Every structure is written in C-alpha cells, then in structure tokens.
Amino acid sequence: MRLRLKPRDSSILDLLTALAQHLPSTADLLAQLVAAPTAARAELAARLGAAEQAADESAHAVLHRLAETFVTPLDREDIARLTASLDDCVDLLEEVGDRVVSFRVGELPAGVVAQVDAIQRCAELTSDAVPRLRTMANLREYWVELNSIENAAGIMHRAVLSTIFDGTSPAGRDAVEVLKLKEITDGLERAVNAFERVAAVIETIAIKEA
C-alpha cells in the first residue's frame, strides 16, 4: 500500500458501504416479486420503489460528502463513478419489477428466475466487497467471481430468449406476451451488466491503490 502523508476522511467509505447494503435487500425483493402470484406483485413493486428511493438518498449522501471533503480516501472520480454504478444497479432492479407489474405478465419462464438468482449473488458479492475498499483485502476474488457470474448470466439470457421465441415459454406464441417477456429478460441482463461495471470500477481502484 502507498504511504499516506495526509489524513483522509474515511466517512465516505462508510457511506459507500451503506449504499452497497441496499443491493441484497433490493435483489431479494425482486426475487420475491418474480416468484409471487400476480395479485401480490403490486405491493412488492411498491416496496421496490421505496428501496430505490432509499438507495438514491444514500448515493446523494456520498456525493454531498465528496463535495465537502478536501482529502478523500480514494480518487475523487473513482468515488463518483462507483457511487453512480451502485445506484444504477438498484435503479435497474426496480425497473424490472415495475415492468413485471405494469406489463401484467403471468407465469415467468424458469430462466428468468435463474437470472434473478444470479443477480442476488451479484448483490451479495458486491455488498461484501465495498467495505473491503478500506484495506483492499481479497478484492480480486470478488471481481473474478462476479465476471464468471456475468458470463454465465449471458448464456442464461440467450437461453431465455430462445425459449421465448420458440413458443415454449408460458407466453406461448402470443406476440405481445413474447415482447413483454423479452423486455423483462433484457432488463435482467442489463442489471447483471451493471454489476459487472461496479466490479470493473472496484478493480480499477484496487490497481491504483496497490
């Protein structure tokens, strides 16, 4: 580790940790929504919306502290980039939940559930990794596993699309329902990619701080 010649305000790392802690709970809410009967989904979507607002507030808290802090614990641009990337993950999960409800879809393909399972793991890994930015300890195993999950999720995404378009999904061959399911599975793929972007930011930080 590089020698620190000036004291740095580590409270920003506390705020980043608080922001990252929104990820597992939001992913769990999305998993509940996907598994729930149609009638129960609106309430879970409302809870997802509240979770997204709470994450926004946490992100704003990081940025406000960043603006007020003269000597930061990490590169200023990296902190801003990590904050935006973490917030994007929550935004995308909430967006998928909203679309499941607003599209009024019924049963979802098993592949969609598998995609959400992958997202839950990404959320757990990321929430555990962010506090380790204090010491930079054991971060490589985080981004390696995250990238592996993203690769597997890409395969899952293509498999779900195949199921949707070959007419074997719960939507059958109804064109409108097929398009609804495609937008949902595409949204989940965007969410996984957002987690990969977080991992890339953390890898960049770890390399700089080595």
Q: Read out DSSP for 94-126?
A: HHHHHHHHHTT--SPPHHHHHHHHHHHHHHHHH
Predicted local distance difference test score (pLDDT) of residue 168: 72
Q: What is the pLDDT of residues 84-102, one digit of tens each?
A: 999 999 999 999 999 999 9
Sign of CA dihedral 43, 49, 52, 53: negative
| pLDDT surpassing 90 at residue 127 | yes
| pLDDT surpassing 90 at residue 75 | yes
Q: What is the pLDDT of residues 166-203, one digit of tens each?
A: 877 766 668 898 899 999 999 999 999 999 999 999 99
Q: Using alpha carbons only, what angle is made at residue 153 by residues 142 and 196, rounded to the nearest 5 degrees?
A: 40
Predicted local distance difference test score (pLDDT) of residue 68: 92
Whole-model pTM above 0.95?
no
Predicted local distance difference test score (pLDDT) of residue 154: 97
| pLDDT surpassing 60 at residue 105 | yes
Q: What is the pLDDT of residues 1-51, one digit of tens each?
A: 444 444 456 799 999 999 999 999 999 999 999 999 999 999 999 999 999
Q: Tokens in use for 194?
A: 């957002």
Predicted local distance difference test score (pLDDT) of residue 8: 58
Predicted local distance difference test score (pLDDT) of residue 167: 76
CA-CA distance, 92 to 98, in Å (whole number)?
A: 10
Predicted local distance difference test score (pLDDT) of residue 9: 64
34 and 100 in contact (C-beta within 8 Å)? yes
CA-CA distance, 209 to 10, in Å (whole number)?
A: 15
C-alpha of 189 from chain center: 10
Tell me the pLDDT band of 116, cut-offs 50, 70 and 90.
very high
3 in helix, strand or coil?
coil
CA-CA distance, 23 to 172, in Å (whole number)?
A: 33
Name the nearest CA neighbour of 156 among 194, 122, 113: 113
